Chain A
Amino acid sequence: MANMKNVKLTNPADVKKGEVIVSVKDLVVQFSVRHRILTAIRHISLDIYKGETIAIVGESGSGKSVFTKTLTGMLEENGRISNGSIAYAGTDLTQFHTNEDWLNIRGKRIATVFQDPMTSLNPLRRIGSQITEVIRLHRGLSKEAAKAEAINLLKRVGIKDAENRYNDYPFQYSGGMRQRVVIAIALACAPDILICDEPTTALDVTIQAQILSLINELKQEYGFTVIFITHDLGVVAEVADRVAVMYAGQIVEYGTVNEIYYDPRHPYTWSLLSSLPQLGEKGETLYSITGTPPSLFNEIKGDAFAPRNPYALEIDFVKEPPMFKVSETHYAKTWLLDPRAPKVERPAIIGEISDRVAKIYSHGGEE
């Protein structure tokens, strides 16, 4: 096996804002679970553009985390990429195998912020040392310089009295502050791409909003690309430029935020939108999804969403739909978009929802 540790990566500056920075093609990820094969990612292709924030949404188990883990080689021991390629910085990341191969990518080029800030930091080491270890490793700064830089970063992410809190232990920080520290660590090497895997799910609402706006601010300042995982479409409107909707290991629809909110095409997206808790009004019955996602152990025939889809066509149970183009930026994987398909009116509620979204998040409609 070739040693990928010494592969020459192209300079991040070579990719201009708006150009493709990561190109995933036909990716398949499988796990072996007690001699059975679970296919968690089923032929995903997606381009990610430099400087954008792309949100990945979908219900629990749809493969959001697994998908982003392939970008940093963080799949568990029992998982492997069995098909496809991930082009990044002039190389194919699927060729990286050992932890050693990844050392030049992780942290340095692609950083990750995980869901639970309470457990992301080593409880027995001082906050400061957990930041400086990355700075010193990737940027080769001296001890003093690394400390100064770490304090700067702490200040930047909004830790008050950073000089004194530098020597604190994680247990002396609240959840929100810890997530700020985690973000500071992720920023420490000015990464190209920041993956946020549900960074606010474990935090309470007011803190959530602060962390989201922090990520937005930092993105403006540093110009990195953000891949933002969430199962909350409400959060998406606040942070993302584009949205990819995942279902059962596939991307079933993607487009700009406006396209997904105001012109969703996939029935699964409809159901996701209509189950937004922020939009529900008292006593109102929303269009809701019934049933459960298919087992990923079995081969899935046709459209994975068909059994739960009230608008399912016969062909949905037989043949998997291709990605239909709605616009240059908007694609959806549903037979409803085939010219031969009967005209289906999407549920009226979706229209209302779009209006409500517009009201709640002024973000919508402007861009």
Chain B
Amino acid sequence: MDTTLKQENKFLVALKKVGRAFKNQTFLYIVKRVLSSLFTLVLLVALVTALIRLLPDTKFYDVATYKKIAGTSKVMANRWRSMQLFLAGRADANGNPVPVLYSIGRYILNILPYYKTIPQSWTDYSCTTVLESWTGFVYLGYSKSMSSYVTNVIASRMGISFRISLYTIIFSYLFAVPLGIAMAKKPGGTVDKIGNVFIVLNYAIPGLVFYLVMWDVLGNANGAFGWANFGLAYDETRPLTLVPPIFCIVFLGIPGISIWVRRFMIDELSSDYVKFARSKGLSENRIMYTHVLRNAMVPLVRNIPATFLGAIIGSYYVEKIWTIPGTGLLLVKALQGVTPDIDLIEGLTVIYAAISMVSFLLGDLITILFDPRIKLESN
């Protein structure tokens, strides 16, 4: 009797907890944000799919192949073509065009994360007996240019881009924030002046030129850094080969962070609470590190997730120069072939959109952590 009561109580407590979580503004806010992000994503998919439907059918199969088959059998060729169009979601199994809404609905079902089986080839052209199929949660189609499923293509390339962006972010902030602080300590002073010269020069260097020069200077075995053996191309067995590209991105990224740190710090330093802190007898360093820095970082941290996730998308030049198999080159590759790699393009679009939504949300959440004044409204 007693024990059942206790158990009931435990259950009630748990229920109350869930209830409270739902009442919690922040939680509600996150739920709403996630839902509205998903809605935006669906809209985007609809739009992109509708646009793709506007493309002529010839973009979805290789006309030369069609002609080759047609050389032997016109019927076979037409069947082959309708299957290509069926796979592209533009026609039903009989080769009749489907409504746009159907294409959209199909794509959305495909990206909804539930376990599904999607047939890829059949023993016959009327698509009755399945030969092989794809199984998994999120289906983004098949990349012709990479001869692999889009999800596999992106997943296999995301890793290296992710690593590069992680290091880049860490080192950028590690160097840029102290530089910004040092400059803000005495605006117009020596450090500030030197920092400004560095920033202006840095901005003046064209990125591509800097990459190419550094590629040679750092990587050339006979050059000044030959001893370090960084190499001219990325080699996954030698992490050191990542040093030149990361150095370049960090170096060029420093001004963009430093000038904001400096500016936010100076803004904060002129505020009343700093004067009051000074009148309390706190030393300048103490004021700098226990009051000003944190406040100045609030507007900055908001951008960290976006910068981080943005970097995952990759940098075309960096990947091209150091031959890094990251995501940066994918979009260009997808557009280069005889027929555009439509699945890859649409897949990348959806993934990039999802990434930016997640990073906005993360940015907001981090801001809440740093700034107690911000109360999230769930409406």
A-B contact pairs, 14 of them (CB 8 A): A100-B284, A106-B280, A107-B280, A107-B281, A107-B282, A119-B272, A120-B276, A124-B295, A124-B371, A124-B372, A138-B281, A171-B373, A185-B280, A189-B281
A-B contact count (CB 8 A): 75
> Is residue A74 within 8 Å, beta carbon to beta carbon, of the partner chain?
yes
- Within 112-139 of A, Cβ neighbours of B (below 8 Å) are at 112, 114, 116, 119-125, 133-134, 137-138
Inter-subunit contact B278/A122 (CB<8 Å): no
Contact pick for A74, options B271, B275, B282, B284, CB 8 Å: B275
Give min CB distance, B241 to chain A, whole Å: 42
* Cβ-defined contact, A99 with B283, below 8 A: yes
Bound Cα distance A2, B272 (Å): 30
Partner pick for A137 among B282, B284, B295, CB 8 A cutoff: B282
A337 contacts the other chain (CB 8 A):
no
For residue A169, CB closer than 8 A to chain B, the reply is yes
Known: A99-B284, A133-B290, A169-B372. A122 touches B279 (CB 8 A): no
Q: Give chain A's interface residue range (CB within 8 Å of chain B).
A: 20 to 34
**Do B371 and A103 touch across chains, with their CB atoms under 8 A apart?**
no
For A189, list chain B residues within 8 Å (CB).
Answer: 281
B298 touches A124 (CB 8 A): yes
Q: Which residues of B contact A106 (CB under 8 A)?
A: 278-281
Chain B CB within 8 A of A104 CB:
yes
A266 within 8 A of B: no
A105 contacts the other chain (CB 8 A): yes
Q: Hey, what's the 0/1 contact readout for B268-301 against A, CB within 8 Å counting as 1? A: 0001110111111111101000110011001000
CB distance from A93 to the nearest CB of B (A): 14
Docked-complex contact B273 and A120, CB < 8 angstroms: yes
Cα distance A17–B373 in the bound complex, in angstroms:
45
Determine if B294 and A124 form an interchain contact, defined as CB atoms under 8 angstroms apart.
Answer: yes
Name the distance in Å between B210's Cβ and chain A's nearest Cβ.
38
Q: Taking the complex as formed, is A111 at the interface, i.e. its CB lies under 8 A from any CB of chain B?
A: yes
Which residues of A come within 8 Å of B, CB atoms? 72, 74, 99-100, 102-108, 111-112, 114, 116, 119-125, 133-134, 137-138, 169, 171, 182, 185, 189
B residues near A134, Cβ cutoff 8 Å: 280-282
Could you tell me the distance between the alpha carbons of A134 and B280 in the complex, rounded to whole angstroms?
7
The residues in B between 233 and 282 inclusive whose CB is less than 8 angstroms from any CB of A are: 271-273, 275-282
Residues of B close to A72: CB separation below 8 A: 279
Residue among A99, A121, A122, A123 facing the most chain B CB atoms (10 A cut-off) = A122
B295 contacts across to A, CB distance below 8 A: 122-124
Q: Which residues does chain B contribute within 8 Å of A114, judged by CB atoms?
A: 272, 275-276, 279
Instruction: Give B186-230 as 1s and 0s: 1 = Cβ < 8 Å from A's Cβ atoms.
Output: 000000000000000000000000000000000000000000000
Binary flags per residue of B165-179, CB closer than 8 Å to A gives 1, else 0? 000000000000000
Q: Is there an interface contact between A123 and B283, defined as CB atoms closer than 8 Å?
A: no
| B149 sits at the interface (CB 8 A) | no
**Min CB gap A276→B, angstroms:** 29
Interface of B is mostly: helix
Complex interface: chain A residues within 8 A of B352 (CB): none
- In Å, the complex CA distance between A88 and B187 comes to 33
Q: How far is the CA of A252 from the CA of B219 in the complex (A)?
A: 76
Answer yes or no: B370 CB below 8 A from chain A CBs: yes
With A124-B295, A133-B290 already in contact, the answer to whether A182 and B276 are too (CB < 8 A) is: yes
Which residues of B have CB within 8 Å of A103?
281, 283
Query: Which residues of the other chain, B, contact A102 by a CB distance below 8 angstroms?
Result: 281
Check B278 against A137 for contact (C-beta < 8 Å). no
Give the chain A neighbours of B280 by CB distance below 8 A: 106-107, 111, 133-134, 137, 185
Closest 10 CB pairs of A and B: A107-B281, A119-B272, A106-B281, A107-B280, A112-B279, A120-B276, A122-B273, A169-B372, A171-B373, A134-B280
Question: In the assembly, what is the distance between CA of A40 and CA of B181, in Å?
Answer: 33
Which one of A112, A123, A137, A182 lies within 8 Å of B373 (CB-CB)? A123
Give bound CA distance, A105 to B31, whole Å.
Answer: 52
Do the beta carbons of B370 and A124 come within 8 Å of each other?
Answer: yes
Q: Which residues of A are found within 8 Å of B298, using beta-carbon distances? A: 124
Which chain B residues lie closer than 8 Å to A121 at the CB level? Answer: 273, 276
Complex CA distance for A123 and B292, rounded to whole angstroms: 11
* B372 CB contacts on chain A under 8 angstroms: 124, 169, 171
> Would you call B273 and A119 a contact (CB within 8 A)?
yes
Chain B minimum-CB-distance residue to A100:
B283
Assembly CA distance A124 to B293 (angstroms): 11
- What 1/0 mask marks residues of chain B from 297 to 312 whose CB sits below 8 Å from any chain A CB? 0100000000000000
Q: How far is the CB of A35 from chain B (nearest CB, A)?
A: 16
